[in-house]
Amino acid sequence: MSQIALPLEHSPPPDRGGYLVTPANAEVHRHLQQWRDWAHHTLILTGPAASGKTTMASAFAQETGGLVVDDACESEELEIFHLWNRANDERKPLLLVSALPVAQWEVSLPDLQSRLAASLHLEIGPPDQPMIDGLLQKYFAIRGLTISEDALRYLEKRMVRSYAMVRQLAQKMDALAIESKKPINLAIAKSALGTFDAGDEKVEV
């Protein structure tokens, strides 16, 4: 997987299969690459909204041909049970993705409980600064835009560090830039963050 060159003022972290890799998710990325070593051929991946779980799972499925279940906590228990057994019988990796940790899945089947408990569990941590910068840059690069260095540094010191906040701020700055017909600069960043500080927008963290 090669790094994608983006027209940015500040170099982003490496892009792997459509997602950025920084210390915030490096352990998850490493284990996805080393799927042959998974305990019972199963990995349970959890993390907050907008943290890239689905994108990572999609890239994993394309590269390995493994089994992937998104929103696994909402799936039928028997389905997960049979997929877990299939993964072990066929020695084919199974990736279960959920926003909730397994302890909150309310699994009633004892056999499934024991299988999930024996599987590898990983959680994507909060976004670090390289991840925040990279996500903002990537968001605007896709639209043929850039975000200025001083705007990034301003947000770095003041924004709530969550994936949801990154997404909502990017969307707000995009809308303000279109409305004002200006680039994504410091003024746009201040205005966008101000709407959240003033309580005009709800931040889903």
* Tens digit of each residue's pLDDT (9 = 90 or more) over 99-157: 999 999 999 999 999 999 999 999 999 999 999 999 999 999 998 899 999 999 999 99
CATH number of 25-123: 3.40.50.300
Amino acid at 205: V
Give the pLDDT score at 9.
37
The CA distance from 31 to 27, in Å, is 6
| Distance between first and last Cα of the chain | 31
Could you state, in order of their start, the residue ranges of all structural domains in the chain? 25-123, 129-197
Only one residue has tokens 């305990």, namely 39
Give the pLDDT score at 120.
97
Enumerate residue ranges in the chain where pLDDT < 50: 1-12, 203-205
DSSP reduced 3-state for 159: coil
Query: 158 with 193: CB under 8 angstroms?
Result: yes
Only one residue has tokens 């850039």, namely 146
The CA distance from 23 to 25, in Å, is 5
Contacts by 175-181 with C-beta closer than 8 Å and gap 24+? 177/145
**pTM of the entire predicted model:** 0.84
Whose CA is closest to 94, among 35, 30, 26, 29? 35
DSSP reduced 3-state for 55: helix
CATH of 129-197 among 1.10.8, 1.10.3470, 3.30.1360, 1.10.150: 1.10.8
